[in-house]
Amino acid sequence: MKFRVLIEQDEDGVFVAQVPSLPGCVSQGQTRADAIASIQEAIAGYLESLSDRDEAIPPAIEEEVVDVAV
């Protein structure tokens, strides 16, 4: 499965990753690569938890990229 992941660097330089379609699925890392590896583990754990409780996986969030001239 594929999930959209948002990655932002916080004021301390830590990379924070979150998955909008999986509420509360957030992780972090000292580098962007660490944050990606960490969020992949968090997603796997989140999906396993849903499966254990016989809950459905939330649908993906659709998005569009829009160009704006400034």
pLDDT for 10-62, tens place per residue? 999 999 999 999 999 999 999 999 999 999 999 999 999 999 999 999 887 77
Residue 17: which of 45, 40, 1 has the closest Cα?
40
The token duo for 66 is 């829009």
Listed in sequence order, the residues at least 6 apart from 29 whose beta carbon sits closer than 8 Å to its beta carbon are 14, 15, 17, 35, 36, 37, 38
Which SS3 state, helix, strand or coil, does residue 53 take?
coil
Q: Determine the pLDDT at residue 46.
A: 97
